[in-house]
Chain A
């Protein structure tokens, strides 16, 4: 993938919270406690024994080579894997103290609190307004005034308001790639989620659109907890407070492979002072 060949250390945009802060001394409360999670698709074990804690109002990045299971782990956090036939999970995930996979838990209720933005912008084939109002509407908000307010607030948060305020009734499919992705972010924010999961949200965007989305993430992180999967290490260094590095573990004997979590730490530590050789090799671009 897009491996920088040299000089990966960030020159700019090192998040302030991560500079020179002794690890964990200011840690905010945990949002997710992931404990020994393995995910299977049929007989294929996509990811094995992942444990980590995701903190409130931080941006956590998942990085690693393709096939390392980073997206799979992300999708366990709002039970999106439930939608894939044959997918099953072992281990425990607690979300704010509640077992995410307890029998009494409704995936629908989970996803209302834990929103998601996808790799490819996927606006509904409806107007921009209806796209953003979709979430509030299914949650029972019908009042025109209230909806107008939510739509405007969400579009402003997603830094899209000024660009679309005059064409709210036009189709969401007519937007450019970057605008469509921000529309999807606005759509996710409209239900006032607690957490926003982002699955390579910028992979299909040009650098300018990417920069806008990264700025947007910084602006909204005081209100939300964000987990982002990215294949772009520079993006991880630019936006995230913590980084989890995943890798592929190959078993030569059985010729199987599975994703594992190699190292999870403050982003600065992962990129400047990794503890694991594999992390070191990956962040310096020696292996892919």
Chain B
């Protein structure tokens, strides 16, 4: 990297000594500009926290802790409890992770250890296309195509079959709706698959070839090699990738807003309509003012804080496992 210590050339004009050190103005200006641009990241992150905190104080003061964490969301009567949105965010993210992680890790392994390099690049392009389709287009497809299909052809049958079955009946039994927690989870899973796949792949690709050969030399099949040599090396990094995917799922807004059903409820029925934090902000911010708006901004601040924490932890895990791999 930056190992060169540049000796600036002499600037003859105005210096007593021909080799006197005087950096030209342009050089210094450029360095300062670059520093300012770099600092912008820090400044924006701080400003986000400060400005949203400031705008949400009226929610904190009028509702109080008990009001904020209640499940009572009734803007017309000035009740702004956020619990049902927190619940929906957690449930949909967990569903998304449960679907996306096995799929993503399997694709990452396919790319690193099964297909040849010639085939892995086209597969990567295809997976990345999932991330190119905008959130709102997933939402549009979700609400106009996926939701009616699930409601008519899938959820109804599941609901009938599982009605009355312990546990499963509570999760997937009637009443069912196409726009539901589970549908939102599925859409989120599709949307976070590319990032989890690409981060996992980066981690798995760092497993040294000699470690894989060590397993093969013992007569391991490819799957046994993956279990024995690849997995212990990469589980930390893959956990980081999963957390980053979790952060994305929690903050994903528009697609969830369109398919989640927009019902502020807490229920064990995954096939029933629900709500999530980003969805309620997107749907209701336009008509909100006063404490109502303050509550929505406050939930945004909460979302910001949670995603920052998740990302900090995730990046920390990735860095640490990467360092351990290099050191080992």
Residues of A within 8 A of B (CB): 78, 80, 83, 85, 107-113, 115-116, 118-120, 122-126, 134-135, 138-139, 173, 184, 187-188, 191, 197
**Number of residue pairs across A and B with beta carbons under 8 Å?**
74
A188 touching B218 by the CB < 8 A rule?
yes
Interface string of B37-73 (1 = CB under 8 A from A): 0000000000000000000000000000000000000
Which residues of chain A are near B132, meaning CB under 8 Å?
none
Which residues of chain B are near A85, meaning CB under 8 Å?
116-117
A116 touching B228 by the CB < 8 A rule?
no
Give B273 Cβ to nearest chain A Cβ, in Å.
Answer: 46
A134 touching B213 by the CB < 8 A rule?
no
B216 touching A124 by the CB < 8 A rule?
no
Which residues of chain B are near A83, meaning CB under 8 Å?
212-213, 216
8 A–B contacts, CB within 8 A, in A order: A111-B216, A111-B218, A122-B208, A123-B214, A138-B220, A138-B221, A188-B218, A191-B219
Give B45 Cβ to nearest chain A Cβ, in Å.
Answer: 35
Cα A125 to Cα B220 with chains together (Å):
16
Interface string of B147-189 (1 = CB under 8 A from A): 0000000000000000000000000000000000000000000
Give B143 Cβ to nearest chain A Cβ, in Å.
Answer: 46
Which residues of chain B are near A80, meaning CB under 8 Å?
213, 216-217
Give B217 Cβ to nearest chain A Cβ, in Å.
Answer: 4
B215 touching A134 by the CB < 8 A rule?
yes
Closest to A113 in B: B219
B229 touching A118 by the CB < 8 A rule?
no
Decide if B328 is an interface residue (CB 8 Å cutoff).
yes
**Which listed residue (B214, B221, B228) contacts A118, Cβ 8 A?**
B214
Give A64 Cβ to nearest chain B Cβ, in Å.
Answer: 22
Cα A95 to Cα B9 with chains together (Å):
70
Give A152 Cβ to nearest chain B Cβ, in Å.
Answer: 18
Known interface pairs A138-B224, A173-B328; A78-B218 also in contact (CB < 8 Å):
no
Which residues of chain B are near A115, meaning CB under 8 Å?
217-219
Give A133 Cβ to nearest chain B Cβ, in Å.
Answer: 10
Known interface pairs A85-B116, A134-B228; A124-B219 also in contact (CB < 8 Å):
no
**Which listed residue (A112, A124, A191, A197) contacts B229, Cβ 8 A?**
A124
Closest to A136 in B: B218
Which residues of chain B are near A122, meaning CB under 8 Å?
208, 210-211, 213-214
B214 touching A124 by the CB < 8 A rule?
yes
Cα A188 to Cα B213 with chains together (Å):
12
8 Å CB interface, B304-328 against A: 328
B219 touching A138 by the CB < 8 A rule?
yes
Which residues of chain B are near A109, meaning CB under 8 Å?
219
Cα A227 to Cα B287 with chains together (Å):
79
Which residues of chain A are near B286, meaning CB under 8 Å?
none
Cα A6 to Cα B130 with chains together (Å):
67
Given contacts A122-B208, A138-B220, A187-B214, 5 further A-B contacts (CB under 8 A): A111-B216, A113-B219, A115-B218, A122-B214, A139-B219
Cα A191 to Cα B219 with chains together (Å):
9
Give A183 Cβ to nearest chain B Cβ, in Å.
Answer: 11
